[in-house]
């Protein structure tokens, strides 16, 4: 099912009324997007219950997927014409694309000096991480919610924990820095959170917990059953001494906590209970080539169609600026009548 079949408005232009004549990606609330998330596939090797349906997402027909060359061109436009300062590849699972090294290598050549990061589940990463680093990958975030093999298998519907742990160790070994682990807070893995933190401390990788958002394909999320950051703090606090440090910078979503008075920290992203929408600096490109300015807004601008109809770089940049100008103020999860977006997290690119 494509964006259009899902009923997502995929339009070619947006109103620019009131927009200042500036090159970068500014919105009506004076936020500037510098951080680009590029989803490169809807496919995945896991089926995390808070993200994917058990059968996986409907396949995007090959002709609707951005090619490596198209991704590199759009990244180049984002950096050189729109002021993007960091690019992160995501999905679905970016490792599912055989041409990932080619995509990263192409971007490294066209936008030298711009950090090229990837968010991955790390399944099979150990066999590719050297090539990815050589191609120009600079940073990596691995999603790992538990180090209990049974919990992992039931949460992801796949028994792949050993491969994930091996992938994290391989990323550290090739010198990718920082290697960060992201864990979604779920009721079934909450009691294992201290073990996960201890494992990350032992391995020398940074850990961040994130509240579950209503972006699961199965629409099971409920405000009453999600684990809020406050509950995690009390569970971690029973084993570790935690002191609040604050955010690394105002647009950083994670609040950092010092662990046991040492150098190590743990980050907590309270995306639902303490929204950071007011400081959001993200713009997103879906695997089908639409610009999506907010996770929670189904309004998208189609760049792929314009690109394939011969639009030049400035025309594409102009469309992108329009998408950003119309970005919504916030996710609205707590608003009466909130409706989750049509796309789930794996179909947007987290």
The footprint of ligand SAM (CB under 6 A) covers 44, 50-51, 90-91, 93, 119-121, 143, 182, 184, 210, 212-213, 215-216, 345-346, 350
Choose from ligand SF4, ligand SAM, none: what does 182 bind? Cβ within 5-8 Å by kind.
Answer: ligand SAM
Q: Is residue 48 within the footprint of ligand SF4 (CB under 6 A)?
A: yes
Q: How many residues bind ligand SF4 (CB under 6 A)?
A: 12
Closest contact distance (angstroms) between CB of 227 and ligand SAM is 11
Closest contact distance (angstroms) between CB of 12 and ligand SF4 is 28
Choose from ligand SAM, ligand SF4, none: what does 216 bind? Cβ within 5-8 Å by kind.
Answer: ligand SAM
Q: Are 315 and 306 in contact (CB under 8 A)?
A: yes
Site for ligand SF4 in 319-348 (CB under 6 A): 346
Q: Is residue 92 within the footprint of ligand SF4 (CB under 6 A)?
A: yes
Among 93, 216, 288, 298, binds ligand SF4 (CB under 6 A): 93
- Stretch of 30-38, 45-53, 99-107, 256-264 contacting ligand SF4, by CB under 6 A: 45-53
Q: Is residue 121 within the footprint of ligand SF4 (CB under 6 A)?
A: yes
Among 33, 51, 122, 196, binds ligand SF4 (CB under 6 A): 51
Closest contact distance (angstroms) between CB of 161 and ligand SAM is 14
**CB closer to ligand SF4, 143 vs 189:** 143
Site for ligand SF4 in 54-73 (CB under 6 A): none
Q: Is residue 167 within the footprint of ligand SF4 (CB under 6 A)?
A: no
Choose from ligand SF4, ligand SAM, none: what does 217 bind? Cβ within 5-8 Å by kind.
Answer: none
- If DSSP states are collapsed to H, E and C, what string results for the chain? CCCCCCCCCEECCCCCCCCCCCCCEECCCCCEECEEEEECCCCCCCCCCCCCCCCCCCCCCHHHCCCHHHHHHHHHHHHHHHCCCEEEEECCCHHHCCCHHHHHHHHHHHCCCCCEEEEECCCCHHHCHHHHHHHCCCEEEEECCCCCHHHHHHHHCCCCHHHHHHHHHHHHHCCCCCEEEEEEECHHHHHHHHHHHHHHHHHCCEEEEEECCCCCCCCCCCCCCCCCHHHHHHHHHCCCCEEEEEECCCCCCCEEEEECCCCCEEEEECCCCCCCHHHCCEEEECCCCEEECCCCCCCEEEHHHHHHCCCCHHHHHHHHHHHHHCCCCCCCCCCCCCCCCCCCHHHHCC
Closest contact distance (angstroms) between CB of 39 and ligand SAM is 8
- Binding residues (CB under 6 A) for ligand SF4: these are 44, 46-48, 51-52, 91-93, 121, 143, 346
């Amino acid at each position: 099912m494509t964006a259009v079949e899902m009923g997502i408005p995929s339009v070619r232009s947006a109103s620019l009324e009131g927009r200042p004549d500036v090159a970068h990606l500014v919105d009506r609330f004076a936020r500037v997007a510098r951080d680009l998330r590029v989803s490169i596939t809807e496919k995945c090797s896991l089926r995390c219950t808070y993200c994917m349906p058990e059968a996986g997402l409907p396949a995007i027909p090959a002709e609707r997927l951005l090619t490596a060359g198209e991704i590199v061109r759009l990244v180049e436009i984002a950096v050189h014409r729109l002021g993007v300062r960091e690019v992160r590849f995501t999905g679905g699972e970016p490792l599912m694309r055989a041409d990932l090294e080619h995509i990263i290598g192409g971007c490294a050549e066209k936008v030298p000096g711009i950090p090229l990061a990837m968010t991955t589940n790390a399944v099979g990463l150990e066999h590719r991480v050297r090539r990815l680093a050589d191609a120009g990958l600079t940073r990596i975030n691995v999603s790992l919610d538990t180090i209990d093999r049974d919990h992992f298998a039931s949460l992801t519907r796949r028994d792949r924990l050993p491969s994930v742990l091996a992938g994290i160790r391989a990323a550290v070994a090739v010198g990718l820095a920082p290697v960060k682990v992201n864990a979604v807070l779920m009721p079934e893995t909450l009691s294992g959170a201290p073990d996960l933190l201890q494992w990350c401390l032992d391995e020398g990788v940074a850990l961040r917990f994130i509240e579950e958002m209503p972006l699961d394909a199965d629409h099971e999320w409920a405000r009453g059953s999600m684990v809020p950051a406050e509950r995690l703090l009390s569970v971690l606090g029973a084993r570790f001494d935690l002191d609040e440090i604050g955010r690394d910078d105002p647009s950083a979503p994670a609040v950092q906590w010092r662990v046991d008075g040492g150098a190590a920290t743990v980050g907590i992203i309270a995306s639902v209970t303490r929204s950071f929408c007011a400081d959001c600096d993200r713009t997103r490109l879906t695997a089908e080539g639409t610009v999506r300015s907010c996770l929670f807004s189904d309004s998208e601008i189609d760049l792929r169609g314009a690109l394939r109809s011969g639009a030049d770089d400035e025309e594409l940049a102009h469309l992108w600026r329009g998408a950003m100008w119309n970005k919504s103020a916030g996710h609205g999860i707590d608003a009466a009548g909130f409706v989750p977006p049509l796309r789930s997290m794996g179909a947007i690119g987290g």
